[in-house]
Chains A and B, each alone.
Chain A
Amino acid sequence: MTAIYKHRLFWPLVSLLTLIVINFIARPQFLKITVRDGELYGPLISILRESAPLMLVALGMTIVIATRGIDLSVGAIMAVSGAVALTIIDGASDPSNMGTVTIAIVVAILVSLVLGVWNGFLVSVVGIQPIIATLVLMLAGRGVALLITGGFITTVNSDPFSFIASGYVIGLPFAFLIGVVAIVVLSIVERRTALGVLTEAVGINPEASRLAGVRSRGIIWGAYIMSGTLAGVAGLIYASNIKAADANAAGVFIELYAILAVVLGGTSLNGGKFSIAGTVIGVLIIQTLDSTILFLGVKSAQSPVFFAVVVVVVVIVQSARLRDGLAAMSGRLRARRESAQDRDKVEVA
C-alpha cells in the first residue's frame, strides 16, 4: 500500500484528478464530450488540443533538465520557426499548395534543429552555464524572427497549414495527436534505447559517467538539439492556430511554463532521474488550471498570480529544508521509540 503513495507520480496525478473533480463539481458539463461529424468536442478535448505546444516544449525541457541543464530559448525558437514557415508560405504563389506547406514545415523544423545545435555547442563544447548560454538565443532569437517577418505579423490563409492546429484525424484534434506522437517517440527513444539511462547517469554524476566511458558531450548536445527541434514543431502549431507569425507574442513565457510542468511532474531541477509521464501530467495540470482559472472568471492575463502561488508551493514542498525538517521530526520520534526499546532490552538482559 505504502508503495502507491511513495510513487513519484502519485502526487502529480492526485493534483490533476483533484483539479478535474473540482471542475466537474463546479460545472458538470466539464466532462461532457460531444461528437459532431465524427469529431470530438468538449472542455476536456479543448484542454488536450491547446496543450500541444506546451507539451512539446516541456518534453524537450525534461531531457535538457535531466542533464542538469535548462533551455531558456524555446520561446524564441518557436517564434523563429513560425516566422520561417509563414514567410515561405506567404511568399509562395499558392499558399494552399500542399508541397509549399510541406517545404515550409520541413525548413522551419530544420532551422529549429540548427538553433538547438547552437545551444548544445555553447553548453557542451564551450562549457558555458546552460542558463546563460541559452539566454543569448532567448534574446537574439526574437530579433531574428522579427527580421524574417520584416517586423510585421505575417498572416496567411492556408488550409493545409491551418489543419495542424485545428484539423481532426480519427475524431481527435491533430495538434493533440502530434503531442501524442512526440510522447510516444520520445518514450521509445529514451526508454527503448539506452539514451534515457545514460542521460540520467550524466545528470546524476558527470564524473562517474565519464569514468564509465559515457559520451556525455554527445548526450548533452543531443538534449539541446531535441529541445530545439520540439520547440520548432510547437512554434508551427502556435502559428497555425493564430494563422499568423507573431514574433513578439509566440511562445512568450513558455519556457517558464515548461520548466514548471517538468518540476510539477516530479523531475528535479538538479538533473538526473526524469519522468516523461510526469511531465505529461505536469502539462495537463497547467492547462487544466489555466482553464479553471478562466472559468472562475479571472481574466487570462491575471492567471500568472495563480501560477506564482503554484510555483511557490511546489518549490517549498520540494525543498530540502522542509523535507529535512519533517525527517528530523520523524527521526526524533523514531529515536525516542528506539531508545525506549533499548531500555526495555537492557531491563530484560
Chain B
Amino acid sequence: MDEVRPLLELTGATVRFGADAALSRVDFRLFPGEVHSLMGENGAGKSTLIKAITGALRLDEGTLTLAGDRVEFADPHAAQRAGISTVYQEVELLPNMTVAENICLGREPRRGGVISTRLMNARAAALLADLGLEVDPASLLGGHSVAVQQLVAIARAISADLRVLVLDEPTSSLDLDEVAELFRIIRELKSRGVAILFVSHFLDQVYEICDRVTVLRDGALVGEYLTHELLRIDLVQKMLGRGVAEVRARGRAVDDAPAGEAVLRARGVSSARGIQDADLDLGEGEVLGVAGLLGSGRTSLARALTGVTRLESGVIRIEDADVHLDSPRRAMSLGVVYSSEDRRRDGIVAELSVLDNITLALQSEQGMLRQIPAARRRDLAASWVEALDIRPPDLDRPAGTLSGGNQQKVLLARLLALSPRVLVLDEPTRGIDVGAKVEIQNLVAELAENGMSVVFISAELEEVLRVGDRVAVVRDGRITDTVAAADLTADSLLALVAQPGEDEG
C-alpha cells in the first residue's frame, strides 16, 4: 500500500490558540481507498486536525497537500470544492427543508433560472438509491431519525466530486443496525477509491472498519499503525500515554467494598443517554477513581449522581435516606457537588471576577437576598486563593483570564466553600500543566484524609490509580468492574478499560 502515493498529506502541522499549541508538528497521511481512524482522548487535537484538513482552521505552520499539490483552503466551502467533505457528529443540515433540497442546495437543477423540483427530487432519489437508501426525497429532513439525517449528509457529500470524506464521530447516536448500514456505505465508498477519515471513540467500530490508525495525544503525533497489527490494549495505551510503570504514591490497602459506612449509594441508576443500571457505593473519606474511555459513560455517571441530569430509573441514597436529585441545587443542599469536565462551557463564569466565581455557589445557597458581607467574602475567597495557590492571586481579575489549571482551582474553591460531603470531579486535571495537576491530586488526597468522599474521573489511568482507593471501570455505559486500587496495576486496569464489548464476542 505504501508505494501508492497518499491522496492527502499533512506535514508538520501546527495550530496555536494564543500561547497554547492545540496541534504541534503533526504528520498525517490518507491514502485513496482506505478507511483511516484518528484516535485520542479529549484535547488530543483530533478536532483541530480535522478542522485543519477541512478548511475550518488555518495552519500556523506546516503544509497540506492534496494529490501531490500544495493546497490552502480559505473556508470549508473551498475544501468541498476540492473534493473534501465532512459529516459531523451533530448533523449540520437543515431540518426545515426537504431531503432533496438538503442534498442539492446550492447546485439545484434549474430550468431557465427556475428550480425544477421534479428534477431535483429525481436526482436526489437516484443518489439515495445509489447508497441503497429508500427515503422520500420530498419529505422534510427534520422528520427523519438522526441516522437517516446522517446518511443524507453523506449523500450530500457524495453528490460533489468526492475524494476525501471525513466522518467526525458519526456513530455516537446510532444504534447497531444503523451503524451496520453506515458501514455498508463506507465500504461502498472505499471500493470507489474515496479516502475516508473515520473518527469514533468506539474501539470495536474502529477495529471493524478501519485499515489504519493515527494516534494523537496532547496535540502531538504518537504514531501511525495498521489496525490489524496493533493490539487493542496497545492502542489504548498509546491513547492514554502511559509511560513505563510508575511508582504509586498512595498505598492504602482497601477492600473492594468501601471501608466504613457508605455516604452515597447508587442502585440501578440510568440516565437518558449514557449510563445504564449503575451501582456504586462511596465510603466516607474514600476516593473512588472512575476509569473509562471518552464516551464510555463516565461523564453521564457523574452528572446522574449530582442532579445535573435526571435519572430515568434507579435510586440514590445519601446516608441511608432516599434522595431525589432533580437539580444541581438540590444535590448541593445535600452536600453533593459536581465539577464539570468542560470548565469553559459550564464551569467558570468567565467575565465575573475570581472573587465572585469562588463565592457564587455559597452565595446562591445562602439565598440571593442575604449577601455574605463583603469583608467576609473577600476573606473567604482570599483564603481559598491562598490555600489552592491560585495565581495570579488577584481576586478582582475576571476568572476567564486565568490559565486552565487556575480556572480549575477556582472551580474547586467554589465547590469546597460549600464544605460538601461528596465531591464529584469530572476530569479535573484535563488540559492543565503538570504542576497544577500534582497539586490537585494532592489536594484530593488531603480532602479525603479529612473525611470528604470524592469521585475522581480521569482519562489517565495512573492518575486514577494514584488518587483512588478503589477504581470503578466504566465501559459502554455500564460500570463493569469495581476493584481496590491496591489490587490493580496500570496494566491490569488498562486491560479492564480496553476490553472488547460483549456483543462482539
Give residues in A with beta carbon < 8 Å to B.
192-195, 197-198, 200-201, 204-205, 207-215, 218-219, 272-273
Residues in A whose Cβ lies below 8 Å from that of B356: 197, 200-201
Tell me the complex Cα distance, A205–B356, Å: 13
Q: In the assembled complex, how far is the CB of residue A135 from the closest CB belonging to chain B, in whole angstroms?
A: 22
Report whether B352 and A214 are in contact in the complex, using a CB–CB cutoff of 8 Å. no
Q: How many residues on B have C-beta within 8 angstroms of the other chain's C-beta atoms?
A: 29
In the A-B complex, the 4 residue pairs with the closest CB atoms: A213-B329, A207-B346, A214-B364, A194-B371
Tell me the complex Cα distance, A211–B332, Å: 9
- Residue of B333, B340, B360, B365 ringed by the most chain A CB atoms within 10 A: B360
- What are some 17 contacts across the A-B interface (CB < 8 A)? A193-B370, A194-B363, A194-B368, A194-B371, A198-B363, A198-B368, A200-B349, A204-B352, A205-B346, A207-B345, A208-B346, A208-B348, A210-B328, A211-B340, A213-B332, A214-B364, A218-B368
Once A207-B345, A211-B338 are accepted as A-B contacts, the answer to whether A197 and B328 lie under 8 Å apart by CB is: no
Tell me the complex Cα distance, A209–B360, Å: 8
Report whether A273 and B369 are in contact in the complex, using a CB–CB cutoff of 8 Å. no
**Interface check B361, CB cutoff 8 A:** yes
Residues in B whose Cβ lies below 8 Å from that of A211: 308, 328, 338, 340, 346-347
Tell me the complex Cα distance, A210–B340, Å: 12
**Interface check B372, CB cutoff 8 A:** yes
Report whether B351 and A273 are in contact in the complex, using a CB–CB cutoff of 8 Å. yes
Tell me the complex Cα distance, A200–B399, Å: 14
Residues in A whose Cβ lies below 8 Å from that of B352: 197, 200-201, 204
Report whether A212 and B361 are in contact in the complex, using a CB–CB cutoff of 8 Å. yes
Residues in A whose Cβ lies below 8 Å from that of B370: 193-194
Give residues in B with beta carbon < 8 Å to A.
308, 327-329, 332-333, 338, 340, 345-352, 356, 360-361, 363-366, 368-372, 414
Once A193-B369, A193-B370, A211-B308 are accepted as A-B contacts, the answer to whether A204 and B364 lie under 8 Å apart by CB is: no
Report whether A204 and B351 are in contact in the complex, using a CB–CB cutoff of 8 Å. yes
Q: In the assembled complex, how far is the CB of residue B340 from the closest CB belonging to chain A, in whole angstroms?
A: 6
CB nearest neighbor in A for B339: A211
CB nearest neighbor in B for A206: B346
Contact among A205, A212, A218 for B328, CB-based, below 8 A: A212
Report whether B345 and A201 are in contact in the complex, using a CB–CB cutoff of 8 Å. no
Q: In the assembled complex, how far is the CB of residue B40 from the closest CB belonging to chain A, in whole angstroms?
A: 26
Tell me the complex Cα distance, A200–B369, Å: 15
Report whether A194 and B328 are in contact in the complex, using a CB–CB cutoff of 8 Å. no
Tell me the complex Cα distance, A215–B356, Å: 16
CB nearest neighbor in B for A273: B351
Q: In the assembled complex, how far is the CB of residue B407 from the closest CB belonging to chain A, in whole angstroms?
A: 11
Residues in B whose Cβ lies below 8 Å from that of A209: 349, 360
Report whether A215 and B368 are in contact in the complex, using a CB–CB cutoff of 8 Å. yes
CB nearest neighbor in B for A189: B369
Contact among B351, B369, B372 for A195, CB-based, below 8 A: B369
Residues in A whose Cβ lies below 8 Å from that of B414: 212
Once A193-B368, A194-B372 are accepted as A-B contacts, the answer to whether A204 and B363 lie under 8 Å apart by CB is: no
Residues in A whose Cβ lies below 8 Å from that of B346: 205, 207-208, 210-211
Tell me the complex Cα distance, A218–B328, Å: 15
Residues in B whose Cβ lies below 8 Å from that of A205: 346, 348-350
Contact among A194, A200, A207, A272 for B364, CB-based, below 8 A: A194
Residues in B whose Cβ lies below 8 Å from that of A212: 328, 349, 360-361, 364, 414
CB nearest neighbor in A for B372: A194
- Residue of A201, A207, A208 ringed by the most chain B CB atoms within 10 A: A208
